[in-house]
Amino acid sequence: MVTLGSDEGVRAAVRAVAEGRADAALSAGNTADTVTSAALHLGRWPGVRRPPLTAVLPSAAGRLVLLDVGSSVDPDKQTLAVHARLGAAYAAVVHEVPAPRVGLLTIGTESGKGDRLRRAVPPLLAGLDLPAGASYVGLVEGHDVVTGAVADVVVTDGFTGNVLLKGLETAYAALGSPDRTSTGVPPRAALLLGVAGTVVVCHGAASGPDVAAGIDLAARLHRRAAVPAMAALTTANEVFDER
């Protein structure tokens, strides 16, 4: 089921998934309302307090999972740790990456770089039991997102991730993708990861091709039963209490 506008349309689409009348929902409406509706009607996976929007970007090495790109703009360190597990599961299940490499986005790779949150998270990520044989590879910078040489999954807050995503979208549209096997800007669609159903969120300025790509993503995820497979991977690992 697709909704492109009103908040009521967003809620109706999510309810249709929850009630089994639709296999997936795609929205280009208000992101906050989509996230709230999905958490309320579908429920969140154990340990997931703030479901992240998860985007896939082309890189020189292939594809890279970036999260969060707009859901949790002011998370705590436990939320980013949960997102690291979710991103690793996405890379393993959807992209079939063996032992995904997970990095934390900040302003330098030296220890202690970044703001208070970025300085607090690395010890937590280093001690995580990540799913699918994934490992935490340390701090990464913006250029590492473009090359894809250091990490398969990059974790950040929704504010920074959204700014980075939109900047890269514009750059790729103007200059071309760093992955020379693909062309143009990646589709403006992201999976809301951590809820018990397939919910894809499109950019508010999404074009017809963007919406079509979002529908295609939702359909592929549903056909592969990717959401329950990712949930099984993440809930088999340690769950953080974020209260």
Domain total for the chain? 1
Q: Is 2 exposed, middle or buried (0-12, 13-18, 19+ CB in 10 A)?
A: middle
The whole-model pTM stands at 0.91
Instruction: Provide the pLDDT for residue 113.
Output: 83
DSSP assignments along 40-96, one per residue: HHH-BPTT-SSPPEEEEEEETTEEEEEE-SSS-SS--HHHHHHHHHHHHHHHHHHS-
165 within domain boundaries: yes
9 within domain boundaries: yes
CATH number for the domain harbouring residue 71: 3.40.718.10
Residue ranges making up the domain that contains 25: 2-235
243 within domain boundaries: no
Residues lower than pLDDT 50 in the chain: 238-243
pLDDT digits (tens, 9 = 90+) for 150-194: 999 999 999 999 999 989 988 887 877 787 666 556 667 899 999
241 within domain boundaries: no
Instruction: Provide the pLDDT for residue 180.
Output: 64
242 within domain boundaries: no
Residue in the structure block whose two tokens are 């934390």: 104
Instruction: Provide the pLDDT for residue 3.
Output: 58
Instruction: Provide the pLDDT for residue 173.
Output: 78
